[in-house]
Amino acid sequence: MAKINTAGDLREFLCSSLNMVANGTMDIAKAREVTKLAGQVNESFYSEVKVARLQIDMGKEVSKLGSLVINKED
């Protein structure tokens, strides 16, 4: 399995997993776990986009997606 670096890679992986479930090479329990993890990644994307939108609305510099600081040490 190649490393997932982009949203497109994630979609490709999820579609591949769906096909594996359909042809019986991935069990349903594993597919559920993959779905839960993908949901968490999606929530992370969504949160980061919301922060970027807020930064734009406040006239601040927008962080590059994927580089949002979550724990800034002083």
What is the percent of the chain with per-residue pLDDT over 90, rounded to a whole number? 58
Q: How far is CA 51 from CA 18, 66, 74, in A?
A: 31, 12, 21
What are the extents of the domains in the chain?
27-63
pTM over 0.75: no
| Per-residue pLDDT reduced to its tens digit, 65-74 | 888 887 877 6
Q: Is the pLDDT of residue 1 over 70?
A: no
Q: What pLDDT was estimated at residue 6?
A: 82
Structure confidence by residue, pLDDT tens digits, 20-71: 999 999 999 999 999 999 899 889 989 999 999 999 999 999 888 888 887 8
- The half-sphere exposure of 49 on its side-chain side, counting CA atoms within 13 A, is 6
